[in-house]
């Protein structure tokens, strides 16, 4: 590109170039619980509505009611890309861009099943993707760009590891020196 610009074969201004980089970290907690009515669900168990991040303790997991679920998901992603657009001939321009993404996610699930069973799921995934786009454009009075020909190429790689355990749910009991715990 630099050689073409030095030979005045293309006009490559700063306004025709773009690049970006982004990093995102996201943590989500979800506590699914059931109530007899909508009002009861909103007026009782405020910790389930407003503090689901406090749910990941042994005592809370051991005392989940039937079909109650707790989820925790962490993800971090990184994306970078670039874009160039330049006129190559009066009325004709080219456009090209690239994009690369990487995401790493981990998810924990605890689900209370019937018969005092606790299902624990843990999932980790890595996703990498990349793409390129090229186009030939018709330029009308430097106002309208009409794409005459375009080509897109993309690839995605995904790796997932998932563990599923079903445990007999244990009840938390306070043990003192004078009492014995089963």
* Segment 96-139, tens digit of pLDDT: 999 999 999 999 998 888 877 888 899 999 999 999 999 998 88
Q: Centre a 10 Å sphere on the Cβ of residue 55 and count the other Cβ atoms it contains.
A: 21
Alpha-carbon gap, residue 117 to 34, rounded angstroms = 18
In a domain, 122, yes or no: yes
- Structurally, how many domains does the chain consist of? 1
Helix/strand/coil for 114? coil
Supply the pLDDT for residue 172. Answer: 46
In a domain, 174, yes or no: no
56 membership: H or E segment, kind and range: none
Tell me the residue range of the domain where 88 lies. Answer: 2-168
In a domain, 90, yes or no: yes
In a domain, 123, yes or no: yes
Give me the phi and psi of 124, to 5 degrees please. -125, 140
In a domain, 176, yes or no: no
Residue, of 100 and 86, whose pLDDT is higher: 100
Q: Centre a 10 Å sphere on the Cβ of residue 61 and count the other Cβ atoms it contains.
A: 19
In a domain, 155, yes or no: yes
In a domain, 10, yes or no: yes
């Amino acid at each position: 590109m630099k050689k073409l610009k030095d030979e005045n074969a293309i006009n490559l201004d700063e306004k025709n170039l773009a690049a970006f980089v982004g990093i995102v970290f996201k943590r989500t907690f979800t506590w699914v619980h059931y109530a007899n009515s909508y009002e009861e669900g909103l007026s009782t168990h405020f910790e389930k509505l407003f503090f689901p991040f406090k749910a990941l303790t042994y005592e809370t997991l051991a005392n989940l009611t039937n079909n109650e679920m707790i989820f925790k998901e962490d993800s971090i992603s990184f994306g970078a890309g670039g874009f160039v657009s330049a006129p190559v001939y009066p009325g004709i321009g080219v456009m090209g861009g690239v994009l690369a993404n990487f995401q790493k996610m981990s998810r924990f699930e605890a689900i209370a099943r019937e018969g005092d069973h606790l299902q624990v799921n843990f999932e980790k995934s890595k996703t990498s993707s990349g793409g390129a786009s090229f186009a030939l454009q018709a330029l009308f009075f430097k106002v309208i760009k009409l794409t005459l020909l375009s080509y897109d190429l993309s690839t995605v790689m995904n790796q997932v590891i998932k563990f599923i355990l079903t445990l007999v749910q244990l009840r938390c009991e306070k043990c003192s020196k004078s009492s014995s715990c089963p």
